[in-house]
Chain A
Amino acid sequence: MTISDTFQQAFLSIRSQILRAALIVLAMSIGIASVTILTTLGESARRYIVNEFQSLGTNLVIVLPGRTETTGGQPPLFGETPRDLTLDDANALLKSRYVAAIAPINVGSAPVSSLGLERETTILGSTASLRRVRHLKMAEGRFLPDIESDKSLPVCVIGQTIKREIFAKQKALGQWMRINDRRFRVIGVLASEGESIGVDFDEIVVIPVASAQALFNTESLFRILVEAKSKSAMYKAVGDIGKIIEIRHEGEEDITIITQDSVIGAFDEILTALTLTVASIAAISLAVAGVLVMNVMLVSVAQRTSEIGLLKALGASESQLIGLFLAEAAILCLAGAVIGMLVGQFVVSVLQIIYPEFPLLIPGWALMAALLVSLTTGLIFGVFPARKAARLDAVLALAKH
């Protein structure tokens, strides 16, 4: 018996019991649709967040003052007062041959104003490298000039919101802007980043780090952004940074180093686990569908007992009969899977229309998995009824009608 004949006969027998077939297809398609939709939501959330973190920079390492993890050992005698990170610390990091660029960052809040328009905003002190490290794009003008980091300069780069609110009636570029009581000339406007994790650069004013230190009257840095030369250099850079700071801080590595990778990795893991959990819960409905397949097939075998006996008398072997019944189960489950995927696709499209800013994408692996799972479910739960049919006693089966 050829494969195509097997499937054709299976198809004919399905066609003669439409209601029963519809039941299986319905159950299977509900399972597949829910798996597709839920994995799509989970996977899209994961991609969204990972992308956000990735757009922060390339091979990024973040150095924070103070140690956040507990190290055990003797409790410190004078309490935990970590040394500040200074500009010199930051510049020293360039000694590592795995470091491509560094951007020291100093943060404070101050009122900014021009021609009577005023608001409070975040002031970020940094260097020309910040643009590279943090992947910033310019809308107008230029970024901070590449000068010695300890030189102050009365220039600033502003975000889109600042431009809109402070320079509502005039061109921003080239104007003077007051920050606290100092005057800075606007030399550039940042392009809008859209929604982003972390700092909202639309609402920020960037000035040279030395100017910020003077403005806020502090030597200490908020953090240092480091770009490693490559992904593999990132971990070596982490080691170097630790050592360099340790030497500069009298033998104490009192900093916390975060790699972009580890943050992304952590989120990736959490969200993947979440997606899989949700998908497994949805997969329970597939198992239910499988049980239904078995039930319906058992009824089918019982109703077609005499037909099975006849096929045996005509020379059907046990394996041919198993093949026939499994083909039926496979066709029904695949039909359910295809319909389920279409329904899933439809629901995802509708969701995409409702939430256009959240990019939804049905993951290819989820489709493959759904197909595979439905097929295996159908076959596994179909095997028992099929074997039952194949093992029927031909004479007894023929006697039934």
Chain B
Amino acid sequence: MIQLNNIYRDFQVGDQTVQALNNINLTINQGEYISVMGPSGSGKSTLLNIIALLDHPTSGQYLFNNQDVTKLDDNALAKIRRENIGFVFQFFHLIPRLTAAENIEMPMILAGINRRQRQQRVKQAVASVGLSDRASHLPEQLSGGQRQRVAIARATIMRPGILLADEPTGNLDSHSGIEIIELLEALNKSGMLLIIITHDHHLGKRAQRRIHIIDGKIAPEK
């Protein structure tokens, strides 16, 4: 499903070049559950952003469903993101002026899905993350765990094949953290490819496949 060949990602900071990713080779299949771990600054987020098509590698080949996506234009990339990739962030990134339901609805608006279908799907999604009674609340009226659940509902509303989470529990207490992880794992069980970046070894160990990144390189998998 995802194949990265010789991916490099350099950042130019002043006259210095930072190699965030250094020759990454990675193949990921449908439905896998992967955790990504490694020290701070090792390149985990950069890798996830490239997989999410939010960032472009400096060099290397990225095959998404066997299609080379490094040469696609913005419109085509946006379409792939919209239809195939859900993203969950450490800081939730909910739009503050929109209610929980409206935030969840947003990807479908961008995809041009009609109103009636949107409302129906939002209703289901809100129920599936256990927030039916909070649907009309603004983000500021929700707890951290509830916000992250809204974010997960939003990330999965388009039923993407891939769910990416960059430290989804990083801003939560351990109790709500576990709840969120369980929610994500349930989605994985239903067939979604799940990649989670985490600093927490206990959480990392729950994944079948663990990737360690050190200095922009993938350490040999055990």
- A residues near B (Cβ < 8 Å) are 1-2, 5, 9, 12-13, 15-16, 306-307, 309-320, 394-395, 398, 401
CB closest chain-B residue, reference A316: B110
Contact assessment for B109 and A317 in the assembled complex, using a CB-CB cutoff below 8 Å: no
Q: Taking the complex as formed, is B183 at the interface, i.e. its CB lies under 8 A from any CB of chain A?
A: no
Q: How far does the alpha carbon of A307 sit from the alpha carbon of B52 in the complex, in Å?
A: 17
Pick the contact of A315 from B79, B89, B95, B98 — CB < 8 Å?
Answer: B79
Q: Taking the complex as formed, is B81 at the interface, i.e. its CB lies under 8 A from any CB of chain A?
A: yes
Residues of A within 8 A of B95 (CB): 307, 310
User: Quick one: given A1-B109, A5-B109, A401-B93, are A313 and B98 in contact (CB under 8 Å)?
Assistant: no
User: Quick one: given A314-B154, A315-B82, are A16 and B97 in contact (CB under 8 Å)?
Assistant: yes
User: Quick one: given A5-B109, A318-B74, are A398 and B82 in contact (CB under 8 Å)?
Assistant: no
Contact assessment for B78 and A317 in the assembled complex, using a CB-CB cutoff below 8 Å: yes
Residues of A within 8 A of B112 (CB): 1-2, 5
Q: How far does the alpha carbon of A309 sit from the alpha carbon of B91 in the complex, in Å?
A: 13
Residues of B within 8 A of A317 (CB): 74-75, 78-79
Contact assessment for A319 and B109 in the assembled complex, using a CB-CB cutoff below 8 Å: no
CB closest chain-B residue, reference A306: B93
Closest-CB distance, B186 to chain A (whole angstroms) = 22
Q: How far does the alpha carbon of A394 sit from the alpha carbon of B158 in the complex, in Å?
A: 20
User: Quick one: given A312-B78, A315-B82, A317-B75, are A395 and B110 in contact (CB under 8 Å)?
Assistant: no
Chain B residues 67-113 with CB under 8 Å of chain A are: 74-75, 78-79, 81-83, 85, 87, 89, 91, 93, 95-98, 102, 106-107, 109-112
Residues of A within 8 A of B55 (CB): 394-395
Residues of A within 8 A of B178 (CB): none
Contact assessment for A320 and B97 in the assembled complex, using a CB-CB cutoff below 8 Å: no
Q: How far does the alpha carbon of A311 sit from the alpha carbon of B74 in the complex, in Å?
A: 13
Contact assessment for A395 and B54 in the assembled complex, using a CB-CB cutoff below 8 Å: yes
Contact assessment for A395 and B49 in the assembled complex, using a CB-CB cutoff below 8 Å: yes
The winner among A2, A15, A398 for most chain B CB atoms within 10 A is A398
Pick the contact of A313 from B83, B87, B158 — CB < 8 Å?
Answer: B87
Residues of A within 8 A of B75 (CB): 317-319
Contact assessment for A315 and B83 in the assembled complex, using a CB-CB cutoff below 8 Å: yes
Residues of A within 8 A of B109 (CB): 1, 5, 9
Contact assessment for B110 and A313 in the assembled complex, using a CB-CB cutoff below 8 Å: no
Chain B residues 28-81 with CB under 8 Å of chain A are: 49, 52, 54-55, 74-75, 78-79, 81
User: Quick one: given A317-B75, A319-B75, are A12 and B97 in contact (CB under 8 Å)?
Assistant: yes
Contact assessment for A394 and B78 in the assembled complex, using a CB-CB cutoff below 8 Å: no
Closest-CB distance, A341 to chain B (whole angstroms) = 30
User: Quick one: given A313-B52, A313-B81, A314-B154, are A1 and B110 in contact (CB under 8 Å)?
Assistant: yes
Closest-CB distance, A161 to chain B (whole angstroms) = 72
Q: How far does the alpha carbon of A16 sit from the alpha carbon of B139 in the complex, in Å?
A: 14
Q: How far does the alpha carbon of A312 sit from the alpha carbon of B74 in the complex, in Å?
A: 10
Chain B residues 109-129 with CB under 8 Å of chain A are: 109-112
In the A-B complex, the 4 residue pairs with the smallest Cβ-Cβ separation, listed nearest first, are A315-B82, A317-B78, A16-B97, A315-B81
- B residues near A (Cβ < 8 Å) are 49, 52, 54-55, 74-75, 78-79, 81-83, 85, 87, 89, 91, 93, 95-98, 102, 106-107, 109-112, 154, 158
Q: How far does the alpha carbon of A117 sit from the alpha carbon of B158 in the complex, in Å?
A: 99
Contact assessment for B107 and A398 in the assembled complex, using a CB-CB cutoff below 8 Å: no
Contact assessment for B110 and A315 in the assembled complex, using a CB-CB cutoff below 8 Å: yes
CB closest chain-B residue, reference A307: B95
User: Quick one: given A16-B97, A310-B93, A398-B93, are A315 and B54 in contact (CB under 8 Å)?
Assistant: no
Pick the contact of A314 from B96, B102, B110 — CB < 8 Å?
Answer: B110
Residues of B within 8 A of A313 (CB): 52, 54, 81, 87, 93
Residues of B within 8 A of A1 (CB): 109-112
Q: How far does the alpha carbon of A394 sit from the alpha carbon of B77 in the complex, in Å?
A: 12
Residues of A within 8 A of B79 (CB): 315, 317
CB closest chain-A residue, reference B50: A395
Contact assessment for B78 and A315 in the assembled complex, using a CB-CB cutoff below 8 Å: yes
Closest-CB distance, A351 to chain B (whole angstroms) = 42
Closest-CB distance, A366 to chain B (whole angstroms) = 37
Q: How far does the alpha carbon of A309 sit from the alpha carbon of B85 in the complex, in Å?
A: 15
The winner among A2, A310, A314, A317 for most chain B CB atoms within 10 A is A314
Closest-CB distance, A387 to chain B (whole angstroms) = 12
Contact assessment for A12 and B93 in the assembled complex, using a CB-CB cutoff below 8 Å: no
Contact assessment for A314 and B82 in the assembled complex, using a CB-CB cutoff below 8 Å: yes
Pick the contact of B89 from A9, A12, A311, A398 — CB < 8 Å?
Answer: A398
Residues of B within 8 A of A309 (CB): 93
Closest-CB distance, B40 to chain A (whole angstroms) = 14
Closest-CB distance, B33 to chain A (whole angstroms) = 21
Pick the contact of B54 from A306, A312, A319, A401 — CB < 8 Å?
Answer: A312
CB closest chain-A residue, reference B81: A315
Closest-CB distance, A25 to chain B (whole angstroms) = 19
Q: How far does the alpha carbon of A316 sit from the alpha carbon of B93 in the complex, in Å?
A: 15
Closest-CB distance, B43 to chain A (whole angstroms) = 13
Pick the contact of A311 from B49, B83, B106 — CB < 8 Å?
Answer: B106
Q: How far does the alpha carbon of A2 sit from the alpha carbon of B96 in the complex, in Å?
A: 22
Q: How far does the alpha carbon of A35 sit from the alpha carbon of B56 in the complex, in Å?
A: 50
Closest-CB distance, A374 to chain B (whole angstroms) = 26
CB closest chain-A residue, reference B48: A395
What are 30 A-B pairs at a CB distance below 8 A?
A1-B110, A5-B112, A12-B102, A16-B96, A307-B93, A309-B93, A311-B106, A312-B78, A313-B52, A314-B81, A314-B82, A314-B106, A314-B107, A314-B154, A315-B78, A315-B79, A315-B81, A315-B82, A315-B107, A315-B110, A316-B110, A317-B74, A317-B78, A317-B79, A318-B75, A318-B78, A394-B49, A394-B54, A395-B49, A395-B54
